[in-house]
Amino acid sequence: MQPPKHLELKGFLSFQILHELSIKKLCGDELAVAIGLKKGSKLTPGTIYPALKFLRKKKLIQHKRCGRKKCYTLTENGVKEYNILKKTFKKIFSKLLK
């Protein structure tokens, strides 16, 4: 399996964002809460928004205005990249857990 071209994603946070957006569209605050619940503490705007900007520049996510907020969704490339990353993570972590 060839590594994805965007695997230089800024750590695990980018993967978590892609994962959450693969389930449903969310605004930045909702993403921070959803990921924070799994992590044990809410993410700060200084953490979540630079990661969202990075993923937008890579054309993996897009946003639309929902009132005063921006709602984020995966792009077609984002869906493809997420599926590749998910397979890669499963392969890596399944070996670690054996």
Where are the domains positioned within the chain?
A: 11-96
pLDDT value at residue 94: 79
pTM: 0.83
Give the span between the Cα atoms of 83 and 19, in whole angstroms. 9
For domain 11-96, say whether CATH 1.10.340.70 is its number: no
C-alpha dihedral sign at 84, 53, 63, 42: positive
Mean pLDDT of all residues belonging to the chain: 86
Encode pLDDT of 31-70 as tens digits: 999 998 888 887 888 889 999 999 999 999 999 998 899 9
Tell me how crowded residue 40 is: count the other CB atoms within 10 A of its CB: 6
The whole-number average pLDDT for the span 68-86 is: 94
